Chain A
Amino acid sequence: MTFPEIIECFEVTEDGPTFQKLTGQAHPALASEIQGKSILILPSHGTDDAFYAGSLDVLDYLNENQLNADLFSTDEEYKELSLHGADLWLGTFIFKSVVIPIFCGVISAYIYDKLKAEPDDKISLKFIVEKKDESSATVSYDGRVEDVEKALNAVKKFTDD
């Protein structure tokens, strides 16, 4: 039996939410929690309230590596999406352009060292960069781990000069 190859989907768009917009629409308790954070993990998979399984592990890993991260959810509302297959559903991240160099290094280490991803594994992620002028750009990648550098390189282009 033969199967279709994994279809890669890689997209960079000049849009996306900002920290200010997210804080503005958050419950006051959550707005106060996420104040001053450099990275937020957002709900994924087209939902506005569910996070991929393993999001807490990513969150801990980011914080252990000196990135000031949080989840865009209150403790009470947090729930997880456990999805099909052994694919790596990393999630949606928004971060300020100032942390791009360290974020790219840490997330790459998470994929390869912590998740022990193989080149042929499928990964799904979305990175939203809030640029210096407070506009956002979104990098989406669904495809093989071996080509995830495309997404990281696209993000690095938004590094502050």
Chain B
Amino acid sequence: MDAASTGFDEEYTPPFPWCAVTLTDPLRTRAISTKGYIDTGSDGSIVPAEVGKGLNLLRYPLMRVETRGIGGKPEDRILYATYVKVNDIEVAAVVDVRDDVDVVLLGRDVLQYMKITIDWKRKKVEAADPKDEPARAMNQRKTLSP
């Protein structure tokens, strides 16, 4: 993942880390690429209504949940299926399509499938597939062996 596909949005205080994400409808006929803001504090991911409409996600309801923000009132919501791709990692997820957000928020439902490294000091974000880690470690061991 190159630097252009990750970053920190300085519009927020403190800056909000993001990575490039491609959202696809379940039939893989439509795709939208945008910034996915890394929201480790959220149980689930949120997609703006505009993106949901562009992908026709309301065609694919999968689950009903009770959602709430901190200190907010609970809401009964239906979640919709979508594919979320970050780097080479593709996750099938159920997302909340909302008209009161204007960015894609990646919650722990999606982030749990990735190794996310956020280096605030160097302003660097990395998203990797955890499955690649053992292979890399093995290669390093091989290199180090006499």
Partners in one complex: no
Interface residues of B (CB under 8 A from A): none
Interface residues of A (CB under 8 A from B): none
